[in-house]
Amino acid sequence: ASLKPVLESILEYKKHNIWIELTSLIIPGHNDSKRWIKHISSWIKTNLGEETPLHLSRFHPDYKFLDLEPTKIQVLKDLFREAKKNLKYVYIGNVSEPEYQSTFCSSCGNLIIKRNGSEVDFEHLKCRKCNALLEGTFD
């Protein structure tokens, strides 16, 4: 399977000002390297903008990948830190660590949206500390 049509579609959405959030399932031995995350986060920053959220989802064995281990949480944290060098909003999914699921102000680091699994807690879409607006579409 080729990634090219997917990337072309993403670029087309961006061209039409459609808000984009990307998710990547991090599979051990397939796309769990720092080299990969540097490449993809750089591509996102260059082509979509640093405000484009990237969700890194933890793999767990299922269906045809029963022989693989779940993605190590430390690997996800390392990829998270690497992606944050290029992107303002990076999240880790399929883990129960709210600090990697929540949204922090890209200007001052203040918590704006607190998430824990399916629980979401926020009152405003701007930072209470520095008044920076949160990028995104909220309907």
- Provide the domain limits for residue 75: 19-101
Name the band, by pLDDT with cuts 50, 70 and 90, for residue 73.
very high
Does residue 63 sit within a domain? Answer: yes
The answer to whether residue 131 is domain-embedded is: no
For 25-40, the pLDDT digits (tens) are 999 999 999 999 999 9
pTM reported for the whole predicted model: 0.92
Q: Into how many domains does the chain fold?
A: 1
Higher pLDDT, 21 or 64: 21
Secondary element (H or E) of residue 41: helix 34-47
Distances (CA, A) of 23 to 26, 57, 130: 9, 7, 29
Encode pLDDT of 114-138 as tens digits: 988 788 888 788 899 999 999 888 7
Task: Give the number of other CB atoms < 10 A from CB of residue 35.
Answer: 8
